[in-house]
Structure 1
Amino acid sequence: MCRQPGPPKVIGVTLVIVDAANVVGSVPDGWWRDRAGATARLRDRLPGDLRLPEVPKPWRIVMVVEGAARGVHGSDDVETVAAQGEGDDTIVELVRAAGEPCVVVTADRGLRARVTDLGATVVGPSAARRSTGTH
């Protein structure tokens, strides 16, 4: 089970679950014209752009994809899980099943409440973007 409050403190791997639709949708850069492409770009940027200074490494990055982006596959550094229904429900199930500390990257208020109730730490989408202010 994930723990709260604050960042995970256990030795081992920290599970970082990224709400891909929420993170992609947090920047009005035309993502709606190519949701799968925007999600694939996020996947490719995550290993270098993810900023979680309070969260110990190593990280296991899992990106939950849904809808038109459901076909985006993982990479060497980022796993993907295709939501069969709502992405939020899939994220909650991943948090519930986690046997390791976890952090969820999302701005979705309802999802934040659901996963923090399970002990996850939540950070906003800006943690998944370059600190230079670009996206």
Structure 2
Amino acid sequence: MSHTLVVDAANVVGARPDGWWKDRAGAARRLHEGLVTADLPHDRIVLVLEGAAKGGPRPGRDGHVQTVHAPGAGDDTIVAQARRAVEAGDRVTVVTADRLLRGRVEAVGARTAGPQWLLDEIDGG
């Protein structure tokens, strides 16, 4: 069974008060780079970007990281990505602190983890 990690980029970036609000695209690029270089135990990582963060990494695959630009609400895209992976038979974890989003992805069969867990993993755990 494959393990897919779906990342709510806005929520993860917002968990670290490092000035991300001054450069959302740059913050998204840093998160993307961290995901590409981190040794995470997931077969596939889906990074969902919305709004100004879409000025960062382009959509597409970079190794085991797939960047997806949400056409509308990021939460809807995250739920769709989680649902698609669950339906494909993957074990799915969605990284977000958003309680409403957690409920939505758990309803489609995904697990959840908080942003700090992911940031700790990227930083070397």
What range is the shorter-chain TM-score in? 0.7 to 0.9
Flag the structure with more relative contact order, 1 or 2, with Cα contacts below 8 A and sequence separation at least 6: 1
Contact 2:96 2:112 in 1 (8 A): yes
1:37 alignment partner, SS class = helix
RMSD: 2.1
2:120 alignment partner, SS class = coil
Gaps of 5+ in 2: none
2:44 alignment partner, SS class = strand
Indicate the residue corresponding to 2:119 in structure 1.
129
Indicate the residue corresponding to 1:37 in structure 2.
26
More helix by share: 2
Change (3 A) 1:49 1:128: farther
Change (3 A) 1:133 1:62: closer
Aligned residues: 118
Q: Which has the larger radius of gyration?
A: 1
Change (3 A) 1:46 1:113: same
Q: 2:65 aligns with which of 78, 83, 89?
A: 78
TM-score (norm 2): 0.84
The worse-fitting range, judged by mean Cα deviation, of 116-125 and 41-50 is: 41-50
TM-score (norm 1): 0.78
Measure, in 2, the Cα distance between the counterparts of 1:92 and 1:36.
22
- Where in structure 2 are the equivalents of 1:87-106 lying within 5 Å? 87-98=74-85, 99=88, 100-106=90-96
Gaps of 5+ in 1: 1-10, 52-56
